[in-house]
Amino acid sequence: MKVCVVGTGYVGLTTSVCLAYLGHDVTCIDLDERKIDTLRAGHTPIYEPFIDQLLEQVAARLTFTTDYAVGVPGADVVFIAVQTPQLGNGSPDLQYLRAAAESVAQHLAGGLTVVVNKSTVPIGSGNWVDAILREAYERHHGHRPDGQFAVASNPEFLREGNALHDTLYPDRIVIGSDNQASLDVLSQLYRGILNQSFTPPTSLPRPAALGAVPLVSTDLASAELVKYAANAFLALKISYINEIAAIAGAVGADVAEVARGTGLDARIGSRFLQPGVGWGGSCFGKDTAALVATAAEYNLAMPIVNAAREVNQRQRTRVVDRLLDELRIIKGRKIGLLGLAFKPDTDDLRDSPAIDIATLLLERGARISLHDPVAADRFQREQPDLAAHLTHRIEDVFDDADAVVVVTDWSQYLDLDWDKFLPSMRCPLVLDGRHCLSADRLTELGYRYLTLTGPAIPPRSNA
């Protein structure tokens, strides 16, 4: 099929590369000339495991452009995958979506084009985009569109860091439209994924147990709501275990064991039951806020989702409280933060807990040293005003530090030579913000080990 993808960010680029891998011809449009130049040169503007190799493999079926006239006319499907960041009132900013839809409408030509909202957009956006397309089409072409397009929703569930895997081997594909022909086009577009008929890329083997992928083919509003319902549920699962972690600390229980014992119940499942500094990233915060904002328009409260949001925010201040408990005075202390990305295997810094934690500690007069194996350069570009010391050398984070906090559970930190760095610290305190390190190993080495809950574990030699 001839496909056009508007927006070459984390979602748009992943979608494009995977659809090209399935054999479709894909034109990627972005207004950001720097991104398009980078992509044309064969590089990716984002960090995502294996995307470079796959991009190279399917380059012949991919076109990168800033010009809508190259990609939209004659396309069977146009995906809109632009950003929908959060506004002050919690609802998403739809200006990028509007601009993209208007540009698409101007260039629609040929038979039916299915215009797909892949961006996460509030319930009702399908109708809204339909109206924008109609108006812009009429304005530009001087007549009403006649079967030129139909709008569909195809929410995206990929996890950054596993984006290609999640796209090629998804748990399900959800499509929604009030137009049956567009649902048929989308089922056909995804046929290779739905029946897993493609040869897997060598770097991304197919999971052994995976058979056919379920398709949820539904109406527009239902598809739009699935995305919010799913993200809110995942977010509250994380907040739930963090709330349990607090009581585990108070009663002297081991939250890791509690999480394991709870998650092994097949009705609950163990994923997203990892206690720590909480969620971040471009989706959970924004999407839960949007769900609450949409509900408010219908005079509905969402107390469960709101509570999940509160607990998540509290986890960030809890890092500071825990350091205060241990160090008593924060002013003048040097605190090292390991990890800036909101989770491992991505360079995405949107709503990253590390930024809030660094800001809170700086406000209290701490000196902050920051490290991230991948997101450091992006951090320098996006946070030029944060008065912290960014370093590419992990030893700088430990040197003369009063505490080191693991904020992102990058595998590099798990496998660190922790004994090598201990002697250079002023105070050998480690706050494991992700419950990802071995308390036994660290205390054996001489560290004082702390999590967000429960008492600190002193070094073995002093115990």
Strand bridging mode 77-80 / 2-6: parallel
d(CA 405, CA 407): 6
In the bound state with ligand NAD, the residue whose beta carbon lies nearer, of 120 and 182, is: 120
Q: Cβ(409)–Cβ(339) under 8 Å?
A: yes
The secondary structure of residue 373, as a DSSP letter, is T
In the bound state with ligand NAD, the residue whose beta carbon lies nearer, of 106 and 187, is: 106
> What's the min distance (Å) between Cβ of 376 and ligand NAD?
18
Strand bridging mode 25-29 / 448-450: unpaired
Stretch that binds ligand NAD, among 36-44, 94-102, 205-213, 319-327 (CB under 6 A): 94-102
> What's the min distance (Å) between Cβ of 226 and ligand NAD?
12
Q: Using CB under 6 A, which of 1, 70, 87, 99 touches ligand NAD?
A: 99
Residue 12 interacts with ligand NAD (CB under 6 A): yes or no? yes
In the bound state with ligand NAD, the residue whose beta carbon lies nearer, of 234 and 405, is: 234
312: three-class secondary structure by DSSP: helix
d(CA 398, CA 404): 7
E strands in 354-422: 367-371, 389-390, 403-406
Segment 413-421 long-range contacts (CB within 8 Å, at least 24 positions apart): 413/338, 413/339, 413/437, 418/442, 418/445, 418/447, 419/445, 420/395, 421/394, 421/395
Which backbone phi and psi does 89 adopt, to 5 degrees? -90, 10
> What's the min distance (Å) between Cβ of 350 and ligand NAD?
8
409: three-class secondary structure by DSSP: coil
Q: Using CB under 6 A, which of 2, 25, 31, 270 touches ligand NAD?
A: 31
Q: What angle, 0 to 180 degrees and rounded to 10, lies between the N-to-C axes of helices 303-327 and 353-363? A: 50
Tell me, what amino acid is at 385?
Answer: D
User: How many residues lie near ligand NAD (CB under 6 A)?
Assistant: 27
Q: Using CB under 6 A, which of 3, 10, 76, 330 touches ligand NAD?
A: 10
| Residue 18 designated active-site | no
79: three-class secondary structure by DSSP: strand
d(CA 271, CA 107): 44
Sign of dihedral through CA atoms 85, 91, 97, 99?
Answer: negative
> What's the min distance (Å) between Cβ of 370 and ligand NAD?
22
> What's the min distance (Å) between Cβ of 346 and ligand NAD?
8
In the bound state with ligand NAD, the residue whose beta carbon lies nearer, of 120 and 451, is: 120
Residue 11 interacts with ligand NAD (CB under 6 A): yes or no? yes
In the bound state with ligand NAD, the residue whose beta carbon lies nearer, of 29 and 129, is: 29
CA-wise closest residue to 248 among 265, 261, 266, 264: 261
d(CA 82, CA 87): 15
Among residues 18, 283, 427, 436, the one annotated as catalytic is: 283
Residue 7 interacts with ligand NAD (CB under 6 A): yes or no? yes
Stretch that binds ligand NAD, among 1-9, 20-28, 269-277, 454-462 (CB under 6 A): 1-9
In the bound state with ligand NAD, the residue whose beta carbon lies nearer, of 28 and 273, is: 28
Site for ligand NAD in 133-172 (CB under 6 A): 156, 158, 160
Residue 29 interacts with ligand NAD (CB under 6 A): yes or no? yes
**Closest residue to ligand NAD, based on beta-carbon distance:** 9
Site for ligand NAD in 270-299 (CB under 6 A): 282-283
Q: Using CB under 6 A, which of 22, 30, 371, 410 touches ligand NAD?
A: 30
d(CA 73, CA 4): 9
> What's the min distance (Å) between Cβ of 8 and ligand NAD?
5
Residue 47 interacts with ligand NAD (CB under 6 A): yes or no? no
Please name the residue that has the structure tokens 């229980």.
253
Catalytic positions, please?
283
Using CB under 6 A as the criterion, which residues of the chain lie in contact with ligand NAD when the complex forms?
6-12, 29-32, 35, 81-84, 96, 99-100, 103, 119-120, 156, 158, 160, 282-283
